[in-house]
Amino acid sequence: MNRTGVRPSPIFLIIVAVAVIGGVLLTLDSPNAADAGALMLVLGGWGVSLCVHEFCHAIVAYRGGDYAVRSKGYLTLDIRRYTDPVFSIVLPLLLLAVGGIPLPGGAVWINHGALRDRKVESFVSLAGPLSNLVFGVVLIWADRLFVPLTDSLFGLSSVLMYLALLQIFAFVINILPIPGLDGWGAIEPWMSHEARRFGMTVRPWAPLVLFAILIGLPSVGGRVFDGMKQILAWLGGSPLLADFGQQIFFFWRH
């Protein structure tokens, strides 16, 4: 593979820098710096995970036979390449900032006819959410192993754990067998023609209905988040720290 096709774009590196700067601000003894740092770390970290999520779809597709993904720029981690900038980038980040719901954002257009077989098609769909799970586990253990729980680093540790919780949320939601989500894409190659046609019909609005329920019915959304926190604990994370991180992130609600 030509390495220029997989070189990280400057835009991706800027998003990484935003997240890193946010983490640094969280270590400063300043409430204003902490507020800005929480916003930058969570939104920047989510932007990074979105790029990695879509890159994983694309790299598996490339290895599986769809070589056009390189010419489309999907292997550059450039967030601008992942479909519409408003509905794929701005809207998910806005929902995350306002409602704390990590709506799946970008997408890559895969030529399924170029893929070798149905197993590859399934793995192309699963690669994205699996990247969220891996990212979440990495955040959990980086937090636990490398961020000592001191007063000066409490904010950083809490926000990192909250970001890990969001990654787990993204993984679980994305693998649901609902048209428009990756879980459906994983089983779609094995479905009948009629089932596929049904999926194509409801694909544009099915995920939005799901997220409208999660946001519009707090009791349902609350139970879902409780389940995500349980998974976080199973993976070695701290739901209590994640709660503190969520409070720090939503500083404007206090």
Task: Round to whole Å and give the CA distance between 83 and 95.
Answer: 18
Task: Round to whole Å and give the CA distance between 58 and 65.
Answer: 11
CA distances from 70 to 5, 64, 112 (A): 6, 13, 15
Is residue 194 annotated as part of the catalytic site, yes or no? Answer: no
CB 179 within 8 A of CB 202: yes
Question: Cα torsion for 139, 89, 35, 129, to the nearest 10°?
Answer: -20
Question: Cα torsion for 69, 75, 77, 78, to the nearest 10°?
Answer: -50
CB 55 within 8 A of CB 110: no
The backbone region for 2, taken as left when phi is positive above 0, alpha when psi lies in -120 to 50, beta otherwise, is beta
Enumerate the active-site residues. 54
